[in-house]
Amino acid sequence: MKKTIRWSALRQKTFLVAGITLASLAVDASAGATLDRIRQSGKIVLGHRESSVPFSYLDSNKNPVGYALDLCLKLSEAVRKRLELKSLTTEFVMVTPSNRIQLVQEGKVDMECGSTTNNAERREKVAFTVPHYITGARYMVRADSGIGDIVGFENKRMVSTKGTTPLKAVERANKERGLNMTIQEAPDHARAVEMVEKGESDGFAMDDVLLYGLISSRAQPEKLKVVGKFLTIEPLAIMLPKNDPELKSILDQEMKRLIVSREAHAIYETWFLKPIPPRKTSLNLPMNYLLRDFWKYPTDQVPGI
């Protein structure tokens, strides 16, 4: 009886080990697809935005620039070194709020370098590395509007950009508070600002840092202002394919190194505290306490979001 028990236990252990090994092989087989493509093509594809100042936008020469793009270029170099490539060509593809996730999922973009919020809904489809900014949604209004917070939009029009988390948050707040707002969708940030300027909308709900950046790029920035308390808390992070743990490990390690070495802080200062294109004006936005505290112990985990 004792021999039978020992033999049974041994068989169970053998089957367990075999199962774990097969599972590991399955994971390894699916891992590294993006890195394999990068290695074979000798290029990495970075997704950028058109008007997400100062994260990712086009300068006066239509070249993609920005804080998130500078970080992505650092991450690309880390990938090149890990793959032991002599060179790595960078290809830029413009993305929008409505197609950015799909392009990453389809492998048409290796990293989306913009102002995308890392939340639970999106993590079902894609992955994110360590947040490079933490912000929240507020409201852009005309300086002479007299509106100071969300309650001031009762029976008025509010625009936000299609496919963004602030749009969903505004729709929810409108319903919960019974504000009877007319919610409008814009195809991109630039159009949303234009709608406020032209009086087609009374306010534009978006991450406040983006609103400040957009205002600074307008011909008459003094005619617009940002108002209200935070409607949301938004950890912004570089987006990457979901099922490529090897790529994610490289990017997470490099982001943590950039933060701990304070290289990321220097890049932050370049885009938030110094003159930036196209108007060569400064946003004058020191690092807020949310990001400063988060970077003390940098991680890709964003609890409760």
pTM comes to: 0.78
Question: Is 143 found in the same domain as 52?
Answer: no
Per the CB < 8 A criterion, the answer to whether 234 and 135 are in contact is yes
Does residue 19 form part of some domain? no
Does residue 13 form part of some domain? no
Question: Is 68 found in the same domain as 141?
Answer: no
Please list the residues that pair with 89 across neighbouring strands: 43
Measure Cα distances from 31 to 111, 126, 129, 244, 286 in Å. Answer: 16, 14, 17, 5, 39
pLDDT reported for residue 13: 40
First to last CA, the chain: 55
Question: Is 130 found in the same domain as 59?
Answer: yes
pLDDT reported for residue 304: 64
Question: Is 158 found in the same domain as 68?
Answer: no
Question: Is 226 found in the same domain as 110?
Answer: no
Question: Is 256 found in the same domain as 114?
Answer: yes
Per-residue pLDDT of the chain (305 residues; tens, 9 = 90+): 444 434 344 344 433 334 434 433 333 333 478 999 999 999 999 999 999 999 999 999 999 999 999 999 999 999 999 999 999 999 999 999 999 999 999 999 999 999 999 999 999 999 999 999 999 999 999 999 999 999 999 999 999 999 999 999 999 999 999 999 999 999 999 999 999 999 999 999 999 999 999 998 888 999 999 999 999 989 999 999 998 999 999 999 999 999 999 999 999 999 999 999 988 989 989 999 889 999 999 999 986 66
Phi, psi of 93 (to 5 degrees): -130, 125
| Cα–Cα distance, 125 to 99 (Å, whole number) | 13
Last residue of a domain, one of 211, 232, 253: 232
Q: How many domains does the chain have?
A: 2
pLDDT reported for residue 279: 87
Does residue 279 form part of some domain? yes
| Cα–Cα distance, 156 to 146 (Å, whole number) | 13
Q: Which domain holds residue 213?
A: 137-232
DSSP secondary structure of 172-225: HHHHHHT---EEEEESSHHHHHHHHHTTS-SEEEEEHHHHHHHHHTSS-GGGEE
Question: Is 130 found in the same domain as 37?
Answer: yes
Please list the residues that pair with 159 across neighbouring strands: 184, 204
Last residue of a domain, one of 213, 232, 251: 232
